Structure 1
């Protein structure tokens, strides 16, 4: 594992989102001094900055406090939405990263920066498991814009000497996530005895439980090179969509049937699994949660949410 740096004060951009909120709780429990920034108006908390995502104005955040680390968890996270409205997706996933880094360059050039990117930059990889050296071939505006955000991180490292790093997150899931496959399965199962999903069911993903993800983010924050590099964030385990859906429904007392439409959705890759050798070797990382355990926790969470 690489030498560590001391990090005390952290700012999370997008702190009210799925990953950002879990990261805040995790880092606070580890003793870090955590600040947050987001667009959520009806939220009041200590060390919270309300920001306007439409104008990229992050100067005030870095003018008021000095931070050791900034983690960007903000942005849009929908392939279909990026196809319907690429301008908005570009602004939230690419332009805002430039604005953040430019504010850091002006105000706090010693602040480290972690950008949450996506495995969508890979598109359909030509070989699996896919390593960080693979040539990006995005299939959607979302994938292109995430790759552009990585390029901006490299730009600010190479041109201005800022310490930057991007995480190519594969299929993150866990409590609090109210979109994507498992939430979709839950919502559909409430209304119908037969649940339909796009594709054949043989498509594969690499699922990473959110508590494994936030632990990896901390390891990279402390031990990362921060030379503008991109790093895979995944479990390294390939799982078919059919198997994942069946695992989730296995916790139901009376599970619904699953039917696949055999139709592809624009922007969706066919197979994904990450080569995680770098995070194993450089950060001594391996996932602690199996998909079965993570989905059991997620199922318990949606059941509790139903009762609220």
Structure 2
């Protein structure tokens, strides 16, 4: 392709996989990443598998998106920017608010300010948005039609009622796939910052003659994701607990669901967005397109690892968590020709086979729960 691509956060889980895919297609890739200890450990040049797999294959800039100078170095001579660098995790965002805003919102603002006010060669910006911007997903009510429920109340959940409610509706709501035209109403600080990122990119770039593309990723998983970070990714969290022989604590009643999308599918969708003109100016959902409940996740992992640990459906819950959300893929299939290749069973087997080849990581789950408890976010 002979095009220059900058991937911010390119040493992370999704970014490193995308970098290798693009290098294989002939792109020249630059990565801007701060090698956060929470993801890469305290000595990333030696211990981070994610960093080591792109080391010497990309032009690497160790820096942060909160630094104008680091952005200036990274943007030089780039044709395309894929903006992944962000603080992630809904739970942690509810008490590290300034950090999330500084990195996710201010970091994006610095990028756009530079593109608006300094010479550059950038033609396209692809931004990683998130399903978290939707908050609760889309539902149908026999009484009110299509509805978008707000956040669930503490009172109901303390009484073991975890289903979503909608004013004036007395019958259970029917879950539907969430399309790109659905209501945007995030229920976490993380979701708010991702909404802001997306809107800034989609609003400012066209005024500069730059094509914007936003991908609202669902729950991404697969080989290479961090097994030591207790703040993101229930497949990683559950896997580490299982391999340590520890009980799995299932929040709520275990029937809360997510759309789990395999890393190879995410990379394929993103590559289509980079290369296809039909992606320009568009926002796309990226998922598998079906929900999987958390109890099924736990049981499937236990089966794949062949390690029997207790599974406790505790009724505990985190404030800010949603009940359900899965992607409507109609748009991305029509405009980009994207079809996910990995269903949950196939993807989890690939993931579990990889996990079993890794060293057993320290289980830091209790630490993350205690942090939320101390702030009144875990019930």
TM-score (norm 2): 0.74
Change (3 A) 1:115 1:19: same
Per the TM alignment, residue 47 of structure 1 is displaced from its structure 2 partner at its CA by 1.2
Matched, 1:287 2:340: yes
Matched, 1:61 2:114: no
Matched, 1:159 2:216: no
Aligned partners of 1:7 and 1:222 also within 8 Å: no
Count of paired positions: 301
TM-score (norm 1): 0.91
Aligned partners of 2:256 and 2:294 also within 8 Å: yes
Aligned partners of 2:250 and 2:294 also within 8 Å: no
The structure having more radius of gyration, on CA atoms, is: 2
Matched, 1:70 2:65: no
Per the TM alignment, residue 228 of structure 1 is displaced from its structure 2 partner at its CA by 4.2
Mapped partners of 2:105, 2:281: distance in 1: 15
Residue 176 of structure 1 corresponds to which residue in structure 2?
224
SS in 2 for 1:251: helix
Per the TM alignment, residue 100 of structure 1 is displaced from its structure 2 partner at its CA by 1.8
**C-alpha distance after superposition, 1:23-61 (max 9, x if no partner):** 111111222222211113954635111223443430122
Matched, 1:80 2:91: yes
**Which among 1, 11, 28 is matched to residue 16 of structure 1?**
11
Change (3 A) 1:50 1:88: same
Mapped partners of 1:225, 1:70: distance in 2: 17
Aligned partners of 2:91 and 2:320 also within 8 Å: yes
Mapped partners of 2:183, 2:121: distance in 1: 30
Matched, 1:132 2:180: yes
Mapped partners of 2:99, 2:3: distance in 1: 34
Residue 3 of structure 1 corresponds to which residue in structure 2?
none
Residue 29 of structure 1 corresponds to which residue in structure 2?
24
Aligned partners of 2:261 and 2:288 also within 8 Å: yes
Per the TM alignment, residue 7 of structure 1 is displaced from its structure 2 partner at its CA by 6.8
CA RMSD in angstroms comes to: 2.1
Residue 377 of structure 2 corresponds to which residue in structure 1?
none
Per the TM alignment, residue 73 of structure 1 is displaced from its structure 2 partner at its CA by 1.3
Mapped partners of 1:235, 1:277: distance in 2: 11
Residue 90 of structure 1 corresponds to which residue in structure 2?
101
Per the TM alignment, residue 109 of structure 1 is displaced from its structure 2 partner at its CA by 5.2
Listed as ranges, the matches of 1:186-197 within 5 Å are 186-192=239-245, 194-197=247-250
Mapped partners of 1:42, 1:85: distance in 2: 23
Per the TM alignment, residue 239 of structure 1 is displaced from its structure 2 partner at its CA by 1.1
Change (3 A) 1:220 1:168: same
Residue 245 of structure 1 corresponds to which residue in structure 2?
298
Change (3 A) 1:23 1:307: same
SS in 1 for 2:306: coil
Residue 331 of structure 2 corresponds to which residue in structure 1?
278
Aligned partners of 2:66 and 2:110 also within 8 Å: no
Mapped partners of 2:86, 2:209: distance in 1: 24
Matched, 1:220 2:215: no
Aligned partners of 1:112 and 1:226 also within 8 Å: no
Residue 257 of structure 1 corresponds to which residue in structure 2?
310
SS in 2 for 1:21: helix
Residue 48 of structure 2 corresponds to which residue in structure 1?
none
Aligned partners of 2:279 and 2:336 also within 8 Å: no
Per the TM alignment, residue 298 of structure 1 is displaced from its structure 2 partner at its CA by 1.4
Aligned partners of 2:219 and 2:261 also within 8 Å: yes
Mapped partners of 2:122, 2:237: distance in 1: 42
Change (3 A) 1:243 1:163: same
Change (3 A) 1:287 1:115: same
